[in-house]
Structure 1
Amino acid sequence: MKTEIETQHLTYFLSVAETGSFRKAASRLNVGQPAVSRRIQRLEDILGVSLFERRSTGARLTTAGTCFAARARVIVDDLRAATDTARGAGLGENGYLRIGVIASLSRGPLRQVLESFVDSHAYVDLCIAELDRGQLLTQLSHRRLDLVVAPGKPDHESGDGLILAHERVYLAVPSDHPLADRQGLRWSEVLKETFVVSTQEPGPEIHDYLVRNLSDLGRTVQVRRHSMGREGIMSLVGLGFGVSLVADHWLGVRYPNVTFVPIGNDDEIVPFSMIWRPENDNPALRRFISLARIEAKRSGALS
């Protein structure tokens, strides 16, 4: 004989407790009164106690029934919340999304996508991490991250991807530097400058970018590496330690005594890409990718 309490037992019991009547509970549940009576009787048999005092005027909770009602309500409410949470996670309305970045969130397409995602998915737990590229790709591979956003074209060996944006490159110079008033610069005009870059991401990529653009101009690139983050490097620029490079999306932050001047030809751009694992079925990730595609089309990075 079955002795387990079923959800329907609790639902019928609470309906009688709330309405104070077997007849009214049956009407609310859209079932016959005998069905309600049988369920309540079965529940009382399982528990071994009377839950209601049956009267001609209705049903009133016993002392045991009152204690049971308080706990039963919590169980039913928790079950309903768990059901809603699971369904919402399946639709990408809640759950979690873990993003690794080598980028500034101060402005640009990534910021736009994040703002749109947060506005429409307020109950998704969003976690963002800044690490070196190797660490980010390792965590992506092991599903500790859902998505990586970094400079460069998508590395399809690491997963699926799309180019989110193409951005101009700027030279960060002290505001009292002779180049600060220029509307644009050529690479040949910065051959004598000392560049300060971080040993952290995206410092190594900036170093490689400098070498590619200056090595053919007949002069060794003067680079000073510092174990500092982006804010620290910009502070060094402002203090006159040298100049550095940034992409357009870094321009949303202002630093003391630092001016940003476009460098290179007008068509000289740097791609920023998103990478994710194709087998990752996280609904929140799929919603984020959909918003990113919309933004990439708007910015012209995706046709």
Structure 2
Amino acid sequence: MSSRLEMHHYETIVAVSETGSVTAAAGRLHVSQSAVSHRLAEAERRLGGRLFERRPSRGMQPTPAALALCQAAHRAMPDLARAEQDFMRSVGGTTATVRIGVGSYDCYHWLAPFAAACSERLEGLLLELVVVGDMPVPRLADGTADLVLAPGPAPGARDAIHLFTDELVLVTHPEHRLASRTWIGPEAIAEENYFTYNRQPSPGFEYERFVRPAGLSPRTITVLEQTGAIAEMIAADFGVSILSRWAMSPWLDSGRLVAVRCGRSGLDLEWSALTRVETDDDAPERQVANAIVGWLGNPSNS
């Protein structure tokens, strides 16, 4: 059975479906808005029906008839891109590519030492970094990532391997009024400008376990989606945040930031390596996951 649509049609359908906007889709695809509109019109002409409808509150949304087509395109595009890259890597002597993300945090200070220490064990495997945000399971499911290092609970279908126990700590400027404390209660941040990386509190993190039970909230909350940017703003004394001690270790070790325990007993944070449930035991991503477990499970490395 021959397809009526070509690859660029499906790329456009996926981009419009994910962004909800012709303008945003054009930016993602690095083409003009008119090119996106033309591709959609051509796809609709070839298929004989409308693909999208504009809804005031949600932007461009697939029509009921087009929903299955959009979902199939969402699944197929990552698989095709991965197959192309794996083919090119194989031709160049690389047997497989493993895409790694770090859930909720943009921290890769561990990657270079890990790759150097495990280079012989991982010979022929190429490690790529991908952005997964605080939704690691969907990014595994759609093929964006093969392996995710995830802090805290990760609900949904996945295979989880325990890595190490971390701690959520208050992160401040070295001269901040709270920097000299041994530990703080939630009331300590009530008058602070608080940085966070997501707009909705994540289950199992500081808001649910530390802030909300006290019935308090920071004076102001600023959302910066990159934790590295949050660290830099705190290092410039623009506010505070509660973040993973391990993820912030480059700034803490350099003395640019200070960590203070949250509560007398602290807030523990478990990190896991997540792969898809159908991953074979000898699959490349499982090999990398096992190597990371051995590396980060060693206190001298983590």
Q: Same fold (TM over 0.5)?
A: yes
Deviations 1:184-231 (A, max 9, x none): 33334333333122348xx84399623531223243333422345222
Match status 1:106 vs 2:105: no
Letter in 2 for 1:248: R
1:97 is aligned with what amino acid? V
Aligned pairs for 1:73-222 within 5 A: 94-102=95-103, 103=105, 104-107=107-110, 114-134=115-135, 136-155=136-155, 157-199=156-198, 204-205=201-202, 209-222=206-219
2:263 — aligned with what? 264
Q: In structure 2, what is the Cα distance between the partners aligned to 1:164 and 1:297?
A: 6
Residue 246 of structure 1 aligns to which amino acid in structure 2?
L
Q: For 1:206 and 1:256, how far apart are their aligned partners in 2?
A: 30
Distance 1:207 1:238 in 2: 26
Contact 1:151 1:273 in 2 (8 A): yes
Q: Secondary structure, in 3 states, of the residue corresponding to 2:118?
A: helix
Partner SS state of residue 180, structure 1: coil
Between the aligned residues of both structures, percent identity stands at 18
Deviation at 1:126, TM superposition (A): 0.9
- Residue equivalent to 1:77: none
For residues 221-245 of structure 1, give each alpha carbon's deviation from its aligned partner in whole angstroms, at most 9, with x where no partner exists: 3342234522221222233322111
- Residue 267 of structure 1: CA displacement? 5.3
Give the partner amino acid of 1:121.
L
Mark the runs of 5 or more structure 2 residues left unpaired by the alignment.
1-86
Q: What TM-score do the two structures reach when normalised by structure 2?
A: 0.56
- Matched with 2:247 is 250
Which secondary structure state, in structure 1, belongs to the residue aligned with residue 130 of structure 2? Answer: strand
- Read off the aligned partner of 2:128 and give its amino acid letter: C
Task: Provide the secondary structure at the position in 2 that maps to 1:278.
Answer: coil
Give the residue type in structure 1 aligned to 2:98: L
Residue 238 in structure 1 maps to residue 239 in structure 2: no
8 Å Cα contact 2:147-2:289 kept in structure 1: no
Q: Does 1:278 align with 2:280?
A: no
TM-score by length of structure 1 reads: 0.56
Q: Which runs of 5+ in 1 are unaligned?
A: 1-81
Cα RMSD over matched residues? 3.4
Equivalent residue of 1:126, what SS? strand
More helix by share: 1
Partner Cα distance (2:137, 2:147) in 1: 9
TM-fit CA distance, 1:119: 4.7
User: Which residue pairs with 1:291 in the alignment?
Assistant: 291
Higher RCO (C-alpha 8 Å, min separation 6)? 1
Please say if residues 132 and 139 of structure 2, whose CA atoms lie closer than 8 Å, have aligned partners that are also in contact: no
